[in-house]
Amino acid sequence: MSDSAVANAAAGTGTTLTIVIPVYNEHDTWRQILQRVQSVELPCARQIVLVDDCSRDGTRQQLEDYSRQTAHQTTPTGLAAVKVLFHEVNQGKGAALRTGFAAADGDIVVVQDADLEYDPADYPKLLTPLLAGAAEVAYGSRYAEASARRGTWQNYLANRFLTTLSNLTTGLGLTDMETCYKMFRRSVLQSIHLEQSRFGFEPEVTAKVARLGVRVVEVPISYHARSREQGKKIGWRDGLKAVWCILKYGLFRR
């Protein structure tokens, strides 16, 4: 199916994409990513769900103001255009995503970090196989192209190790299990029970999607890594937890 045919099909069926954005201490940065999310041209309607995970740098106050400003906005499909949700206690990215997924109304759901590492301009590439009926889940890979290596060597090698280990337990053959850009038909998310509250979300959701037997595809995306000084929050302890989650959900629960 051509891109134009996919766009026409999406418009004709009233498809909505829900973009779930977990936010933690992203003062003003969330505004920049939101502007990018709103400006990208999509072949369907969009709904934005922001989940503040108990930010303490003024982000929460900014989001409270934004929530009031957008309270009555709706999508062309009649859904709330923006939802802003708040955690009273910091729980982690996985917990924020569970909250966001539960609030999502769209037919398709994508994860968007609140930093500036991932570019929403890649949404159409992720949407194409889902709208064409070729897949139920799409991962945006930073490493799908042979020449691609973005970020530090340490992060790259850690990602390769975790992705390879995950593939051994799921059989998916991914190149980037740890990617932020994961897009799902909402029915897929409704079919699995997620438990992990931090970055263990990535291997957990991958293993549980694999067990469903749904079609998963990867598409190449752009990526602009930021440093720990710029606010990157994942560390080596999260890497160890990811190994445990790969084994727990991909091997021990077979």
Cα(223)–Cα(118) distance, rounded to whole angstroms?
Answer: 5
Q: Decide: 62 and 29 in contact? Cβ < 8 Å.
A: no
- The CATH number linked to 215 is 3.90.550.10
- Residues in contact with 86: Cβ distance below 8 Å, sequence separation at least 6, in sequence order: 51, 52, 54, 60, 63, 64
With a cut of 70, list the residues of the chain below it in pLDDT.
1-13, 146-151, 226-236, 252-254
pLDDT of residue 44: 97
Distance CA 166, CA 155 (A): 16
Q: What is residue 121's DSSP assignment? A: G
What pTM, to 2 d.p., does this model score? 0.90
Rounded CA-CA distance 166/172 in Å is 8
> How many residues are recorded in the chain?
254
Q: How many CA within 13 A on the CB side of residue 50?
A: 28
pLDDT computed for residue 51 by the predictor: 98
Q: Which residues form the domain of 62?
A: 3-251
Per-residue pLDDT, 65: 98
Structural domain count, the chain: 1
Over the stretch 143-176, which tens digit does the pLDDT of each residue have? 987 555 566 778 889 999 999 999 999 999 999 9
pLDDT tens-place string over residues 207-237: 999 999 999 999 999 998 865 554 445 666 7
- Where in the chain does DSSP place strands (E)? 16-23, 45-52, 82-86, 108-111, 137-141, 182-185, 216-220
- Largest distance between two CA atoms of the chain: 47
How much is the pLDDT for 230? 43
